[in-house]
Amino acid sequence: MKAFRIELALLREAVLGTLPPDAAPPDDDQVIARFAAGAWTVLPEPGDGVAGLVRERVGDVRALQLLVEGTSATAWAQALDDGEVAQMVPDALSRWLPRLGAERILGAFSQGAAHRQRLLTRADEHWPLAIDDLGPHAPAALWVRGDPAALAACDRSAALVGSRASSGYGELVTGQLAAGLVGRRFAIVSGGAYGIDGTAHRSTLASGGTTVAVLAGGLDRFYPAGHDELLQRVVATGCVIAEAPSGVPPTRWRFLARNRLIAALASATVVVEAGQRSGSINTAGHAAALGRPLGAVPGPVTSGSSTGCHRLLRDYGAAVIERPEHVVELIDGPLEESVALGGGTSDELRVLDAMSARAPRGVDELAVRTGMAPRDVTAVLALLELGGAVLERGSGWVRGLGRSPSPPRA
Amino acid sequence: MKAFRIELALLREAVLGTLPPDAAPPDDDQVIARFAAGAWTVLPEPGDGVAGLVRERVGDVRALQLLVEGTSATAWAQALDDGEVAQMVPDALSRWLPRLGAERILGAFSQGAAHRQRLLTRADEHWPLAIDDLGPHAPAALWVRGDPAALAACDRSAALVGSRASSGYGELVTGQLAAGLVGRRFAIVSGGAYGIDGTAHRSTLASGGTTVAVLAGGLDRFYPAGHDELLQRVVATGCVIAEAPSGVPPTRWRFLARNRLIAALASATVVVEAGQRSGSINTAGHAAALGRPLGAVPGPVTSGSSTGCHRLLRDYGAAVIERPEHVVELIDGPLEESVALGGGTSDELRVLDAMSARAPRGVDELAVRTGMAPRDVTAVLALLELGGAVLERGSGWVRGLGRSPSPPRA
């Protein structure tokens, strides 16, 4: 790499620091590939679709080389062999080049290594394939603290997200959903924030489940700082991930970009509690755009803390989530046939309505009271007698203590 | 009418007692028509579709005559000129004939008159046309206490229904919806029961609105007895109606049949609070079957009192109702274009994210921090400066106090 003038040995050292200690030593090509993937987490902002398209056309390594070599627009067009993408490159270069520098990229690796981060690339065993549904907006690689195997567990997972300003109600429901989903072997994905996110991670840990936190900034410093201890606990059994390299602070933009990773990683996204402008509405929007199932937990309409959830239910086709089973249904489809409104036999009900528990009534009287034909009353009485719901007594029939039918549709 | 041997003068007396005192005196045909319509509220159970079909084919009067004359099946078939309906008649006769008797029918009129009921028929000015959407299941006539004009007001109305076992939350929301809808000139329909129904009537009265209570039994005795005073107040400004004549007690079957009237009468049905097996779910089913808009108010998932509402939202396409406006939208269509998830310009946000309120930063630094091209940063800064969101200061730019953009989709 000309303009960089970095020795392969230096690259190897950088890359090795972010590999598991027991990993097979990478060959030179693997070192260069990992370095390039890491570089592409440094150069563009998260979600830069042009970076994704360029990497898709020529690969991470060649794309980085072209960048480093100060390639002309004509040479880019030739290399990309895609006029449409080539047209976007000059603009993109003016975004990426200000960040191009060996120190910055090597720094991401060394800081990553210093904070026990692994760089997870598409070549790695635990790369979560669901992320690739983001297409050109997928990250080049992920920075991971903890066990990357937790990411693979996300192939059966739910994102539980919501307001930072959660209520006791929202936290209670989050805890119930997390515990129930852990019991059904789902991993829980969330954003590590205060409120619903934190409760989702905490409840999952308490239930012995696997949880993944997706952060908006680099993993050298957990955000929010008040969740450092919680996120350390997530690292101990699950993992904390980010596409931004160390040293990159979370910003509003990066929170929004981070939300697309949560939506892509999880099999379904459930917004537990959200005000009208909660960031979790944005996560829900990504889930919907990705075709991932979307759920929302309803809540009291008298407080503002479920307004965002109700908006998702009303305007964006989110499913109503009350219990963990509803999340499972969202992902696996209906658990059992839904029952029609009402149901049951109406004639039995009409006859029972017309009967007394004490005063025996004859068929003719019951016919008048029910508006049914006497012979139909007789037939229904015979059926009800079988179930013990009516008893013949002296001059007529009385209600018994047996099974009563369910209310019908009128 | 042969088998009855009722003098026309007696019919006239019966009918006059259930007409408004200031009504034009009916001619003989009108007397007979009103008597027949009333008789058809006595003979079948509410919602008897065969009665509706027979009345539709030959008219109320002829249908009653055929019944009274003990017509043979062949003669019925000839009169109906509809083989399919004729086939159902023998069964239906065995339901209706046990109730056929001059005393019973005249009694409905005299008891009605004694309780200041009006018999409202399709010939009357205030007949609510919406009821006819029930087709053959529509009642032949309605018994009305209070001002029948309130029924005409139901052409712009909402049914607010729900559990008898309502919570403070459900009652609060019912009150808010009723008051808001009254302010928008909607009439409120409900079932007069304890809980949500009663709150709907009470709140409508308190707001000076028009409310209609639809009862399952005859209007000689208001049910539940504990709502007698409330229903008297409904009578004073709106009306209480039933299809059952006086002397007929409410039964579970008749409650279910009554629900179809509520659903048909109201422009939309909103279930405010309902457990899993609330009768209001049945009302909702009728509304859906009639193609009437259906709404449900969400509530906490941690108590059972909104379970039925959530079921309607999840499985039956009910709209989420949080505020009176949502009911209006349900009936009139969206009040304004819905806003896409997120929205706003993302570049402005990225630049603002990268800025400080105190430390001035230059375009190049902002380009690196945002991952945007320097010239794009410059363009965005110019726009932001117009809104006062950024200020140029010495060596660079700082955040101002002006309008900040709304969060975008990533």
Per-residue pLDDT reduced to its tens digit, A207-260: 999 999 999 999 999 999 999 999 999 999 999 999 999 999 999 999 999 999
With contacts defined as CB-CB under 8 Å, which chain A residues touch B407?
252, 256, 277, 279, 282
* Percentage of residues of chain A with pLDDT beyond 70: 94
Q: Is the pLDDT reported for residue A343 higher than 50?
A: no
Q: How far is A365 from chain B (nearest CA, A)?
A: 9
Burial of A390 (0-12, 13-18, 19+ CB in 10 A): buried
B306 in contact with A at a CB cutoff of 8 Å? Answer: yes
Query: Of the candidates B282, B315, B354, which has its C-beta nearest A409's C-beta?
Result: B282
Q: How far apart are CA B376 and CA B23, in angstroms?
A: 79
pLDDT band for A402, please (50, 70, 90 cuts): low
Residue B292 DSSP SS3: coil
Are B252 and A172 in contact (CB < 8 Å)? no
The structural domains of chain A, with segments of one domain joined by +, span 8-109, 147-332, 346-399
Architecture of domain A346-399: Orthogonal Bundle (1.10)
Are A301 and B281 in contact (CB < 8 Å)? no
Q: How far is A24 from chain B (nearest CA, A)?
A: 35
A326 in contact with B at a CB cutoff of 8 Å? Answer: yes
Picking from B100, B261, B314 by the largest number of A CB atoms within 10 A of its own CB, the best residue to mutate is B314
Tokens of B33: 């028509």
How do residues B338-349 score in pLDDT, each as one tens digit?
Answer: 333 333 477 888
- Residue B200: C-alpha distances to residues A44, A312, A395 (Å): 58, 27, 45
* Percentage of residues of chain B with pLDDT beyond 90: 76
Is the ipTM here above 0.85?
A: no
Query: Of the candidates B43, B300, B323, which has its C-beta nearest A299's C-beta?
Result: B300
Q: Supply the pLDDT for residue B406.
A: 39
Q: Is the pLDDT reported for residue A181 higher than 70?
A: yes
Mean pLDDT of B4-10: 81
Burial of A97 (0-12, 13-18, 19+ CB in 10 A): middle
Query: Of the candidates A91, A251, A313, which has its C-beta nearest B353's C-beta?
Result: A251
How do residues A103-129 score in pLDDT, each as one tens digit?
Answer: 999 999 999 999 999 999 999 999 999
Mark which residues 39-78 of B lie under 8 Å from A by CB. Answer: 43-48
How do residues A287-342 score in pLDDT, each as one tens digit?
Answer: 999 999 999 999 999 989 999 999 999 988 899 999 999 999 999 987 654 333 33
Q: How far is B20 from chain A (nearest CA, A)?
A: 30
* DSSP per residue, B158-177: EEEEE-SS--HHHHHHHHHH
With contacts defined as CB-CB under 8 Å, which chain A residues touch B371?
43-45, 48, 95-96, 99
pLDDT band for A1, please (50, 70, 90 cuts): very low
- In B, minimum Cα distance to A93 occurs at B373
Q: Which helix (H) or strand (E) holds B242?
A: strand B239-242
- In B, minimum Cα distance to A301 occurs at B322
pLDDT band for B355, please (50, 70, 90 cuts): confident
Tokens of B397: 């730019």
Size of interface A-B (CB pairs under 8 A): 199
Mean pLDDT of B90-108: 94
Mean pLDDT of B290-304: 95
Topology of domain B147-332, per CATH? Rossmann fold (3.40.50)
Full-model pTM: 0.80
| Alpha helix stretches (DSSP H) within A17-101 | 28-42, 49-58, 60-68, 73-80, 83-96
- In B, minimum Cα distance to A295 occurs at B314
